[in-house]
Amino acid sequence: MARFELQWKITARQAGLLIREFLKDNHISKTALTDIKFAGGFIQVNSQEVNVRYVLKEGDVLQVGFPEEVPSEGMKGEDLPLDILYEDDYLLVVNKPAGVSSIPSREHPSGSLANRLIGYYQRIGLKSAAHIVTRLDRDTSGLVLIAKHRHVHHLFSEQQRSRKIHRMYEAFAEGSICPDAGTIEQPIARKKDSIIEREVSEEGQYACTHYQVISRHKEFTHVKLKLETGRTHQIRVHLAWFGFPLAGDELYGGSRRFIRRQALHCCSLSFEHPFLDKTLEFEQKLPEDMNCLL
């Protein structure tokens, strides 16, 4: 499991292509190709080393080995719980609890999802870095997609740009949202006097959030949300701007009377598997601290 490899058997339609052209058609980036050539990877045809100018023939077996990955400096593996819902040779889907950061920060240098991943990889003998495709805020719970290798992360980044990775969230917003369904399209930027907080601003990046009311309660509205874009704190900022901050989200005007963190949970995740030619779909029920409010 130390090295990530890909293999293709060349068809009549692919014959005549240079390896360089074939790899570009298969979404291997220039950066990845440079690493393959100069940082410990390999390119072989029929088990013989070749260069990217080799002309492929029908029936050739092309193998590409990527360099072993090393976690970033200071990223320590930790033997902490990791709730794995799905795993194959290319990816993981995990359920992240609230209170766990996606990556280490100055305020929370350990215990992050990335630390847990590196610890898990060390236990199973996988030499890779932590490639978290769909990050969640520290106090947001739910489904997270993780690529096991840099190239797989690159393929998922292409899916994100073409909006082929879909996530749904459940949230409790303070007040009674009306109408029952709608779309919030407001640009989001970092607040000038903060390194953390975001705000709706004409100078910001385009952001789009769709919402659907599930039920209304005395103090809050149970709502489902779908993102068209993935800006930092997008749901939190959009709902606060709309006049209905998330319960528990003190940073954006919510109250902690009922819950001690922002009441936001990634409940649904779907994406196209980059190698298995099928769509994978996952759902995760509300965690106990949100479910008990219902």
Answer yes or no: is pLDDT of 3 > 80.
no
Q: Which structure tokens are listed for 97?
A: 């609890």
Per-residue DSSP letters for 173-203? Answer: EES--SSSEEEEE--EEE-TT-SS-EEE-TT
Q: What is the pLDDT of residue 290?
A: 97
3-state secondary structure of 161: helix
- Angle between helices 30-38 and 150-161 in degrees, nearest 10: 170
Number of H helices, E strands in the chain: 6, 16
Q: Which residues contact 186 (CB under 8 A, 6 or more apart)?
A: 200, 207, 238, 241
Cα–Cα–Cα angle for 220, 224, 230, nearest 5°? 115
Q: How far apart are CA 275 and CA 270, in angstroms?
A: 15
Query: 60-108 pLDDT, tens per residue?
Result: 999 999 998 888 877 899 999 999 999 999 999 999 999 999 998 888 8
Q: Which residues contact 106 (CB under 8 A, 6 or more apart)?
A: none
Instruction: Answer yes or no: same fold for 5-65 and 69-162.
Output: no
Mean per-residue pLDDT for 37-56? Answer: 93
- Given CATH 3.10.290, say whether it is the number of domain 5-65: yes
Answer yes or no: is pLDDT of 176 > 80.
yes
Q: Which of 62-71, 137-146, 202-211, 212-221 has the lowest mean pLDDT?
A: 62-71
Are 29 and 152 a contacting pair, CB within 8 Å? no
Answer yes or no: is pLDDT of 7 > 90.
yes
Residue among 145, 150, 87, 124 nearest 1 (CA):
124
- Given 60, 88, 137, 277, the catalytic residue: 137
Q: Which of 2-11, 153-162, 220-229 has the lowest mean pLDDT?
A: 2-11
Cα–Cα–Cα angle for 28, 166, 119, nearest 5°? 65
Asked about 88 being catalytic, the answer comes back as no
Query: 257-283 pLDDT, tens per residue?
Result: 999 999 999 999 999 999 998 999 999
Mean per-residue pLDDT for 192-219? Answer: 95
Q: Which structure tokens are listed for 139?
A: 């106090």
Mean per-residue pLDDT for 197-217? Answer: 97
Q: What is the CATH number of domain 167-266?
A: 3.30.2350.10
Domain residue limits, the chain: 5-65, 69-162, 167-266
Residue 275 CA: distances (Å) to CA of 132, 230, 283? 18, 24, 21
Q: What is the CATH number of domain 69-162?
A: 3.30.2350.10
Q: How far apart are CA 77 and CA 71, in angstroms?
A: 9
Handedness of CA 27, 33, 39, 40 (dihedral sign): positive
Q: What is the pLDDT of residue 31?
A: 87
Per-residue DSSP letters for 96-124? Answer: EPTT--SS--SS--SS-HHHHHHHHHHHH
